[in-house]
A and B are shown apart, each in its own frame.
Chain A
């Protein structure tokens, strides 16, 4: 397998984009990545498209053809593949694209991810997202996604004395980071009190513990590492791409407060890269709910199990802290167009490693990690990037 590099990145605004269609979102993200990489459309050997549920959000399937077509690549018959792993669809598209280049089968490949969530109302969108859990044995019983993560949070609080204030601090930090990200959905700082006085959605999770409904798309261009410098002075190298599965139902996990798919994918990633969690300068992790970021920083090995809450409270995960987490604002404040998220994480880490992250730049960042989760933890995908 040959080494792979990211040579271009692009991302749309993440927010409610009522005036922009699904296909136009993808084209916008893809074009900016292509311009960033300085490649011609003819040079692209393949497309990988991450999307969770266009079938239900916009009643459109066959996205592979649709996006290739509107990207102007159907006329030259470029192969295109749509992949799905719920909220980890973007990460999975990136991984498939990396493997395609690493194997030597393709050279220049584009990995894109996107979701159009606001064409349906919030009730319908919530129901679509519920399909990432086991419909027959969780959803039908009255479980919602906030409800599943709330049950994790409740047990984490019971076992490790994690507090509502510590959960709220995740949201406060990520909203603060998003004030420095011009593409983020929520660019306003909030307080712990704002979180704790927002309506309860599923006890102990408040509205401000939850990521929002978002429209958006992101794209990255990959090339074999040995030719990457032909396209850019600042290639970012993919040191590991790993993936792990776990049970689709939360109740079947051996430990409800651990995403064992994250643990397995992280172990494989650090082993592949020959690195340890201490070597990582920043990480974009899957904070679909505030408790999910606490779990992620524990399960990735940045902090011991049960200490994620206190680490967050002490500011260790803030920009300038020991390991800055979610400098983009994360899913929580940058927004979570589910299929786009895994790609957007790679865009953010790439910009950080290039030193192009503006006010939210992590000084001297050399190694970054992305962590994308499907459902309540049935899929985890990790990439380690190095400049």
Chain B
């Protein structure tokens, strides 16, 4: 990904900053300009998520994309935050420890790098809570 494309959403990636539609009381991560439920009647506000949730499903990636530095195998999961939204993220744990439904907590981690001289991606991963 190009530097501007990653940089543009830095604060959202680093801090789990998303949005909340106060019309229907639905939370979104990543942030959205339009609430898919209310569309033009929605009122969107910025929202800082607590970072706690549960693991909905997972896989153990053996063949990672080239820009992901994590040592394969790594656990990738879909986390459902307690406020409702779901996101795809790496789960820092031993592959044998992972199970559907386990409680997780967000942490700030390095997630990849372009090359030895290139941009380093930081963002959110999750650990067992």
A residues near B (Cβ < 8 Å) are 123, 126-127, 130, 135-144, 146-148, 150-155, 158, 199-205, 249-252, 256
Contacts and interface: CB of A to CB of B under 8 A. Distances in A.
Contacts of A252: 86
Interface of B: 1, 5-6, 9, 30, 56-66, 68, 70, 73-74, 76-78, 86-90, 95, 100, 111-112, 121, 123
A358 B9 CA distance: 55
A136 B5 contact: yes
Contacts of A204: 59
Task: Give the dominant DSSP class at A's interface.
Answer: helix
B77 A151 contact: yes
B88 A249 contact: yes
Interface of B is mostly: strand
B59 A202 contact: yes
Given A137-B30, A154-B100, A203 B1 contact: no
Contacts of A137: 30, 87-88
Given A140-B123, A154-B57, A250 B88 contact: yes
Contacts of B86: 251-252
A135 B86 CA distance: 16
Given A250-B78, A251-B87, A142 B60 contact: no
B49 to A, nearest CB: 14
Closest 8 CB pairs of A and B: A150-B59, A155-B57, A203-B60, A251-B86, A151-B57, A251-B78, A202-B59, A142-B68
A199 B62 contact: yes
Nearest to B78: A251
Given A136-B9, A141-B89, A202-B63, 14 more contacts: A136-B1, A140-B111, A140-B121, A142-B89, A143-B88, A144-B61, A147-B59, A147-B76, A154-B58, A202-B59, A202-B76, A203-B60, A203-B62, A256-B56
A127 B57 contact: no
Given A137-B30, A150-B59, A158-B57, A144 B64 contact: yes
B1 A130 contact: no
A159 to B, nearest CB: 9
A130 B63 contact: no
B88 A141 contact: yes
Which one of A137, A140, A154 has the greatest number of beta carbons of chain B within 10 Å?
A140
| Best-buried of B5, B88, B111 by chain A (most CB within 10 Å) | B88
B100 A142 contact: no
B72 to A, nearest CB: 10
Contacts of A135: 1
Contacts of B121: 140
Given A142-B90, A143-B76, A250-B78, A127 B59 contact: no
B123 A141 contact: yes
A147 B90 CA distance: 11
